[in-house]
Structure formats: C-alpha cells, structure tokens
Structure 1
Amino acid sequence: MDMKEVPITRTGMYNLFFIACDPKLKGLVMSGKTVWKNPEGYLPGRMAPLMKFYVFMSLAYLLLSVIWSVQCMRFWNDVLQLQHCITAVIGLGLFEMILWYFDFANFNNTGMRPVVITTWVVTVGAIGKTVSRLLILSVSMGYGVVRPTLGGLTSKVLLLGVTYFLASELLDITEYVGTINDISGRARLFLVLPDAFIDAFLILWIFTSLSKTLDQLQAKRISVKLDIYRKFSNALAVTVIASVAWITYEVYFKATDPFNERWQSAWIITAFWDILSFVLLCVICYLWAPSSSSQRYAYSEEAGEEFDEEEAQSLTRGQSDGDVSLTKLEKHVGGAGISDHEDETEDKRE
C-alpha cells in the first residue's frame, strides 16, 4: 500500500479499519504502522492536557520547596528528623513532576516513548508515592513525637512499603512504559485493583495508629501535640472521604467507558490524585513547619511529665495571694511537726 495522509478537520474519536472482502486473502498477515498527530503534537487527546498540568504542578512544588527551605534555614538548629523526611517527600514530588513533564514533552515532539526514560519516570513516581504514604503512616504512629523510633513495627512498615511500591510500579509500567495506544478502560480497572486494596489497608492502619497516638497524648495531657494531631486527623479524614468518593467515580468512569469515548475528560482521573497528594503535603508542612518552638513537638524521654508552655506559665506565673497562702501552709505544716515533737519530748520527761 502506498503512504496516504488523511486530514482530520473535526475533533473526536477515530478508528482505522482494514477490510479485505476477497476470499483469496483469507489468513493474510499485514505489517506496517499508522502515525497519528494532533495539531499540537503526537500526544493522544486524553494525555495532552496533562503536559500543561505537570507544568503547573512543578511550579506549585517549587514554590512549596522554596518556602519550606527558607523555614528550615531560619531554624536549622531546631529542625527535627521528621521535618527532614518531609523535605525528602517535597523533593521527590518536585522531581517527579518535572520528569513527567519532560517525558510527555518528548512524546509530544517525537511520537515515541523511550522505554528507559519512561521506566525511570515511573519508578521515581512510585518511590514518591510510597515514601509519602509511609511518612503519613509514621506520623500517625507518633514517630519523632510520641516515640523516638518505630521499634518492632519498622520491618512491617518497610514490608508494606515494598509491596505498595511493586504494585504501583507494575500499574504505571503497564500503563505508560512503551505504550502509545490507549489502554481500554476495563484493562486499566483490572490493574488498579491491587493498588487500591493496598491503599485501603494502608488507610485502615493509618487511622488505627492515629487513634492510639491521640489516646496516648490525651492520657499524658500534652495539649500542644494533641492539638496538632487532631488537626492532622481531621485533614486526613477529609482526604480519605475525598479519595473514596473519587475511587467510586473512577471505577464507574472506567467500567462504563471501555472504548475511551470520554477521552477529553480522562486526564482529570490522573490529575486528581496528584492534586490531593499535594494538598495533604501542604497541610503536613503547615502543621510541622520548622520554627523556634519545634522542639516542643519532639519526642522527650520525660514525655509522661510533659506539659505545654501555656500550662507551665499558668503554674509558675502564680498570683501573689496564692504564693502567700502556699507559704503560710508550709509554715503551718512545719510548725505542727515541731510542736508535736516537743509534746512527745515533754511526755517522756514527765
């Protein structure tokens, strides 16, 4: 067949069929390729909006990293181990968004997706998602705040992290690496299920750990840390509700669109998770921002005797009347002790 160019003047979903009606051609094997190009490049219509989206997300992560870095530099001596972990998550998020943009830009310009480059991008993304989830789990367990380490739970947390990383890596490699044609909605739904089950288990573990941490802080009456963890739990609850609602919509969207007929809005499915992760990361950065009082949030060996600064001031401030009465009480007790001793001595002499 000679090369033929077919101009397309109307936006829509197009299919190309090769039909042979001659019985003599039964069993014929054809080889060749088709090249599809949109006005702005080779990116499929469902993926094209994501390239611009990753530009905005890169700028958002860059702004967050600048603000966070400035705070860390200002209060470097008070930075906690937990805050170093947050720095790593911000850095991975920024790196991931930049890599996704360059991968999409290369695809858009050349029409090809080199396996090595896309695999690297997908791997960085899977690492970022895994580390961010383990950070949330560690915070929920009270790492660096209620306990200095995760202790015996470290191996279980790492095992869960490795499992989630493999599931996420498999899903993204299947969907992106070496893939130019659109994957059917039902095939993507099958690949999403293992990832979704592990996410559900993570959420259950996070809230169980968070409940225990809140109980510990309430029992010890550490009101500063308790207030932070309550805000964190509220933000996490909102995130989970939004996630469950979106997963329900995503399952419905992919199950009812096996041929990608709603391709123009398909990019929102991917974009939502990046936006949600970024918002939750901003909340964590706000709650655990480096400051001159960061050490108040850190784990202390004397946590059982800990109390916040306001309580300390209320105990030590003391009004003059209270101090006088306390002094009188001490003198009265001391005097009573002396008089009793003297009475006993007189009895013996008698």
Structure 2
Amino acid sequence: TSSETLVRSQRDAEVNGKTTHHIKYYNPFLKNIAWEDSPYMFIIHFAEINPAKDTKWSIKLEVSMKGSYQYISASEWPLMIFYMVMCIIYVLLGVLWLLLSACYWRDLLRIQFWIGGVIFLGMLEKAVYYAEFQSIRYDGLSVQGAVVFAEVLSAVKRTLARVLVIIASLGYGIVKPRLGALLHRVVGVGLLYLSFSIVEGVLRVNSAEDDLVLLAAIPLAVLDSTLCCYIFISLAQTMKLLRLRRNVVKLSLYRHFTNTLIFAVIASVVFIVWTTKTFKLSKCQSDWRELWIDDAFWRFLFSTILLVIMFLWRPSANNQRYAFSPLVDEVSDEEVAEQLMNEAFGKRKYIIGMGRKKV
C-alpha cells in the first residue's frame, strides 16, 4: 500500500568501479543521496505487483533535487552570490552618482545624465536576476516572465551603454555641441542593436534550438564588432582634433578612455579563447564549478568600464573644463583649419620643389 514505509529490497552492485544503488520503495516519498562531485544517473523502474490482473493505472512523478543550498544547483549558486554583490555595488554607485549630481547640478554635462541612466538600469537588472535565483533556490521553480524581463532590461542597458560610448567617442558635449546628422545614425544603430539583443536573449532563455540561438547571435556579434571599429575610428579623429587644438585637459581624458577600451577588447579576446578551449572544445566538462564565470565575466567587464567612465566624467566643480565652449572652440576650429591649410600648402610646395629638382 502507499502508506507502507518498509523497504522491500536493497542491494549494491559494482559497475565500472562505481557503486550503483538499487532500491525499491512503496513509500511515495523516495529519497536518495548523490555523490558530491561525480557524474551520476538515477533510474526509476515501474513494475506491476500482480501482472495477471489487467488494471488501469496512472503515475504522476515529480523529481526534485535538493542540496546544501536548497533547490538551486551547485553551478548556479556562485552566480546568485555574484548578482547579489553586483546589485549592492550598483546601489552604492547609484547613490554616489546621485549625491555628486545633486552637489554640482548647475554644471552637469549631458553625457552625465546618460551615465546615470546606465547605472539605474544596471541596478534594476541585477536585482531582477537575483530575485529569479532566489525563487529557484527556495521554490525550485523559475519564473519565466521574470527571466524574459531581466533579459530585456539587460538588452536595454547594453544598448544605452553602447550609445553612451559612441557619443562619447564622437565628442558630444565636449568637442561638439550637437551630433547633427550623426544623431539619426546613432539612434538607428541603437535600435538595431536593441532588436538583435532582445531576440538573442529571449531565444536563449527559452531554451530554443542551438542552431536558432546561434543564428540570432551571429548578427549581434557582427554588429558589436562593427561598432567597436567605428568607436576607435571616432576616438582617433576626436583625439586628433584635440591635439590640433592643443587642449591638453580634454586630450588626457580621451587618452584614458581609449586605453580603457583597448584593455576591454584585449581582455575579451583572451577570455573568448579560454572559454572556447575549456568549455566548447572539451569532450567532458570537468570544470563545471567554473561555468558561472562564462556569464559573470561579461557583466563584470561591463561594470569595470562603466566605473572608469564614471571616474573620468564624474560631476565636479571643474565640469566646465570638459564642456564645449563656443568661443574657445570656434577660435580653435579656425586655427585648426589654418594649420591644416598650411600643412597641405607646405606639402604641395615640397612636391613641386622635388619635381623641379628632377627636371
């Protein structure tokens, strides 16, 4: 009967050096203990007690795995701690940025409002992810709507961050007062990246086919690489303009910003090579304890870049040193144009002189 708690049979067998437990219970609550760190497989076999009787029966089976940290898996536990720590860090960064903005609100730059928006979205994203992992830990169930919402938040945050880096590399509010015709291109690229990012994230969390997820990830990767090249080209042009204007303060700011992005690109390439070798090309993933790093690294790298941007463009009493000054910059533009004309004329004169010498 279902209320009977007696174990009818129990035996152990050696299979390939592993001890296999065969246990038959009549108790509806069957429990077993797995190894701490080894591959294992549970086999549940159903058999009729009296096969002679032709009886109709149905079985409702619910399998749950519970460990030291409740229902959450051992590979996801470090990721939950990571999101908790990052959520606290984003809250502290948000409070600090809000206080600095309140102290120097008269001198705030436009780009500093963008930075505040990225911080807020990052804080909200980490909070939603942490709440999702908490639900898995205590209830053993994943709230699908929360996961999709977190992915959409992540896509919006990454889009806003890339637009922030693009307008910073173009010198918006620092070298030029407005983007002009480039504004429509920046908005279009941002919307395109947002669309690709949302589609890729939703397909990934909904456990779609690997080929379909890869098909959605390829355009996103190509667009990301194109944006990276465009950002470095824009930075080179902006720094050249500042060098010709002899604006040492703004040039130093953009040098630090460029070095940060170069470090991020190098770190990304090294990490991609490591993850490909460790997780993708490995026939047996023995380093399952490090799986959480594959997801945490990109968010940590993003937060590091954001922290550097916050430090470089922090609200302060000297904000106006980085702001666009119409009188100074217009005069500088005339000097730059004159210098470029002189350089071009000197080069032309040198070429003519060389030609005469040959004749």
User: Which band: TM-score by shorter chain?
Assistant: 0.7 to 0.9
**1:8 has 2:34 as partner:** yes
What is the CA distance between 1:193 and its match in structure 2? 3.6
Q: Structure 1 counterpart of 2:85, which letter?
A: F
Contact 1:140 1:209 in 2 (8 A): yes
TM-score (norm. length: structure 1): 0.76
Q: Structure 1 counterpart of 2:288, which letter?
A: W
Taking only the aligned residue pairs, the percentage that are identical comes to 30
Q: Structure 1 counterpart of 2:175, which letter?
A: V
Contact 1:184 1:258 in 2 (8 A): no
Partner of 2:142: 113
More displaced 10-residue stretch of structure 1: 97-106 or 110-119: 110-119
**Alpha carbons of 1:194 and 1:79: their partners in 2 closer, same or farther (altered >3 Å)?**
same
**1:103 has 2:132 as partner:** yes
What is the CA distance between 1:157 and its match in structure 2? 1.8
Partner of 1:253: 278
Contact 1:185 1:259 in 2 (8 A): no
**1:229 has 2:254 as partner:** yes
**Alpha carbons of 1:270 and 1:198: their partners in 2 closer, same or farther (altered >3 Å)?**
same
Higher-helix-fraction structure = 1
TM-score (norm. length: structure 2): 0.74
More displaced 10-residue stretch of structure 1: 152-161 or 258-267: 258-267
CA distance, structure 1, for counterparts of residue 164 and residue 108 of structure 2: 16
More displaced 10-residue stretch of structure 1: 232-241 or 65-74: 65-74
What is the CA distance between 1:155 and its match in structure 2? 2.3
Contact 1:171 1:192 in 2 (8 A): yes
Residue aligned with 1:151, SS: coil
Post-superposition Cα deviations, 1:70-126, rounded to whole Å, max 9, x if no partner, equal 211111100111111111111111111111111111111111112212111111111
Partner of 2:340: none
What is the CA distance between 1:65 and its match in structure 2? 1.7
Which is bigger in relative contact order (C-alpha 8 A, separation at least 6)? 1
Alpha-carbon RMSD across the aligned residues, in angstroms, is 2.9
Partner of 1:238: 263
Residue aligned with 2:121, SS: helix
**1:206 has 2:235 as partner:** no
CA distance, structure 2, for counterparts of residue 31 and residue 148 of structure 1: 67
Partner of 1:285: 310
Contact 2:163 2:186 in 1 (8 A): yes
What is the CA distance between 1:215 and its match in structure 2? 1.2
Unaligned runs of 5+ in 2: 1-25, 47-58, 334-359
CA distance, structure 1, for counterparts of residue 82 and residue 274 of structure 2: 21
Partner of 1:128: 157
Partner of 2:18: none
CA distance, structure 1, for counterparts of residue 39 and residue 217 of structure 2: 24
What is the CA distance between 1:139 and its match in structure 2? 0.4
Partner of 1:26: none
Partner of 1:143: 172
**1:67 has 2:92 as partner:** no
**Alpha carbons of 1:162 and 1:114: their partners in 2 closer, same or farther (altered >3 Å)?**
same
Partner of 1:78: 107
Contact 2:101 2:108 in 1 (8 A): yes
CA distance, structure 1, for counterparts of residue 256 and residue 237 of structure 2: 15
Aligned with residue 73 of structure 2, among 29, 44, 55: 44
Partner of 2:323: 298
Contact 1:186 1:254 in 2 (8 A): no
Contact 2:135 2:142 in 1 (8 A): yes
